[in-house]
Amino acid sequence: MIINKKYNTILCKGCHTEELAKIRRFVIKRAIKNGFDEEVAEHIALAVDEVCTNIIKYAYKYDLNKEIEIETYIQGQNFVVKISDEGEPFDPKNVQQLDMQKYFKELKKGGLGIQIIRKIMDEIDYQSANNHTPKNSLLLKKTIPSN
Amino acid sequence: MTKTANFNIEIKSINEIECIYLKGYLDAHTAPELEKEIQEIIDNGKLRILVIFRDLEYISSAGLGVFMAFIEEIRDKGGDIKFTELKPKVFKVFDLLGFPILFNILSNEEEAVKSFEAM
């Protein structure tokens, strides 16, 4: 894993779940530096963990030849975490919001990560790979507290 | 007891209740260890499980998913999985998804052990 502090990016080659702890620590540091308290910073890191877990498990199927790139930056009032992958496109915005009462009643399994991402982040954008950009990008946005 | 760099599980039997003490970070990397331990408990015919979160710093959906995977089987067989002593930040993750509707969350270990006696 290459952490580039100057450009606030992580490049995780051969990304495995073992790297999740490092990714979370990177995101927490960046979020705190940009004005979030520790609790919110940890939540943003949880959302990023959920995205990376889904990429490693489902898009890459633990293929260690693939990479994940994570970049943080400010855009207007938002702190943005951009997560890029080279798997099959998957837009979490197309996943329906779960009715948790019903979910528990039917004792379903899986799909919880996307619900967590939605509850934590203020906005989510997705761009699938195309002729101009070879990777899919998911943008997780959280409004920076004003004080 | 199983242990990785940032996650640790200890299991003790108290009044025929399997008490699982979690420590550290429960994510997609460490969740399989917990899954294995709970599967072993069930395979040994033990169906009263109490998870003590006192020293757990972090949980992601992979950790929550472990409990979802077993709860139906355990309750069908007349047992239960209960939780106790969650740090506020860990409870918040449970609460985000409405887990307190499905799982019995008790304030301390002693009270939780007693709650099994009524079963």
DSSP B9: E
Average pLDDT over residues A80-97: 87
pTM of the model: 0.90
End-to-end CA distance of chain A: 34
Q: How far is CA B11 from the centre of its chain?
A: 11
Contact B28 A49 (CB under 8 A): yes
Tokens of A22: 């490092």
Report the DSSP pairing between strands B48-59 and B104-106. Answer: unpaired
What number is the ipTM of this complex? 0.90
Handedness of CA B23, B92, A18, A115 (dihedral sign): positive
Measured at the CA of B11, the angle between CA B5 and CA B16, to 5 degrees, comes to: 170
**Residue A108: pLDDT band with limits 50, 70, 90:** low
Burial of A106 (C-beta count, 10 Å sphere; 0-12/13-18/19+): exposed
* Residue from A16, A17, A39, A54 to probe the interface with B (highest B Cβ count within 10 Å): A17
Higher-confidence position of A7 and B117: B117
For B62, which residue in chain A has the nearest alpha carbon? A113
A80 close to A108: Cβ distance less than 8 angstroms: no
Is the model's pLDDT at B119 over the cut of 80?
no
Chain A residues whose beta carbon lies within 8 Å of the beta carbon of residue B69: 109
Q: Are A130 and A84 in contact (CB under 8 A)?
A: no
For residue B87, the SS3 value is coil
Facing B62 at nearest CB: one of A21, A53, A120: A53
Per-residue model confidence as pLDDT tens digits over A128-142: 888 888 899 999 999
The reported pLDDT for the residue numbered A107 is 63
Closest CA to B97 of A46, A90, A40: A46
pLDDT at A96 over 70: yes
- Min mean pLDDT across A18-22, A105-109, B112-116 is at A105-109
Query: What CA–CA distances, in Å, run from B87 to A19, B49, B66, B101?
Result: 24, 19, 19, 18
pLDDT computed for residue B4 by the predictor: 63
How far does chain B reach from its first CA to its final CA, in angstroms? 28
